[in-house]
Structure 1
Amino acid sequence: MQAIKPSRQLPNCNLSQQTRASARLAGRRSVLPIFSKAAASRVGSSPKLPNGINSPYALKKYSNNVSKGRVLFHGVHHVAVLCKDLERSLDFYCGTLGLEVNPDRPDEKLPYRGAWLWIGPEMIHLMELPNPDPLSGRPTHGGRDRHFCIGVEEISPLEERLKEADVEYTRSMSGRPAIFFRDPDMNCLECVEMESWR
């Protein structure tokens, strides 16, 4: 098997030339099967899978997704975030971070209180529900904990907002222009500076 160059060459996943060309033009790989990252990372005859997984079973497991057909992913619609006190969370997400509530997503049909917040075209769904996870023992650096990442145009205005609100944050250990911080319920967020989205 030949090495796949990371530039614009897409892995051969039994897709038509037209589909591959469309994906190349769009600059996205969302039209590829789920295992495309694994396929794109193969070099020579020793397959390498995400997180150092390197076994024939794992490769077969990821590769079997082709027989199930491809899934067309558009992006992340929303991220659900558990909170203990909805008002406190709204104060943080809207007051400190500057996000806006989506009034078109009423929660009266749900058996718990919540709110939907815009992050670009995607949303955060705040849900006032008990958190089953322990809050103590979480890593200081959020990059080593479960988190979701939000793209921002510039990190510095966000850093100023966090400093003004006495919210602690850490910089990305990779050297990227990114920071990690926690909301009042210890949920971790990452914000990364991006010139353009996607």
Structure 2
Amino acid sequence: MLSGMHHVALICSDYARSKAFYSETLGLHILAEHYREARDSWKLDLQLPDGTQLELFSFPGAPERPSRPEAQGLRHLSFVVDDVAATVVWLNGRGVATEPVRIDPYTGAAFTFFQDPDGLPLEIYQRL
């Protein structure tokens, strides 16, 4: 049986830029970082406070993945926060542009979107 999410893996176009975004701008904790010479690839393990991990990879020549207009596959990553409005202020203060806050018509929760350095849609969603 599935009991939770262990990690999400992302491939970035600029490893240093994405590492800084996820670890410094968003504040995810770095667990481990490895350079894999045989693949000319970096692997960075990051962790959220609830234990969920994000793996960040670099691969030379990786093709871009379309995200807009809506493409099949991963639509976005969503992070739970206690206060969407306060998190928007925090993100904006770190130079991260956010969309206007909306309310989920089914749950009544506030949410909004922003993007990582490769344009991957990221969401913050109010804890219910």
Which has the bigger relative contact order, CA under 8 A and spacing at least 6? Answer: 2
Aligned with residue 20 of structure 2, among 43, 66, 91: 91
Retained in 2: the 8 A contact 1:101–1:116? yes
Deviation at 1:160, TM superposition (A): 1.7
Retained in 1: the 8 A contact 2:45–2:55? yes
Please name the residue that 2:11 is paired with: 82
**Within 2, Cα distance between the matches of 1:122 and 1:131?**
26
**Within 2, Cα distance between the matches of 1:131 and 1:124?**
20
Deviation at 1:173, TM superposition (A): 5.5
Instruction: Report % sequence identity.
Output: 28
Question: Structure 2 unaligned runs (5+)?
Answer: none
TM-score with structure 2 setting the length: 0.76
Aligned length in residues: 116
Which 4+ residue blocks in structure 1 deviate beyond 4 angstroms? Answer: none
| Rg larger for | 1
TM-score with structure 1 setting the length: 0.51
Matches within 5 A, 1:1-198: 72-103=1-32, 106-108=33-35, 111=39, 112-119=41-48, 120-129=50-59, 130-134=62-66, 138-139=68-69, 146-170=75-99, 171-172=101-102, 174=104, 176-195=109-128
SS of equivalent residue, structure 1 residue 91: helix
Retained in 2: the 8 A contact 1:172–1:180? no
SS of equivalent residue, structure 2 residue 87: helix
Deviations 1:51-71, CA, capped at 9 Å, x for gaps: xxxxxxxxxxxxxxxxxxxxx
The structure carrying a bigger strand percent of its residues is 2
Question: Structure 1 unaligned runs (5+)?
Answer: 1-71
Deviation at 1:167, TM superposition (A): 2.0
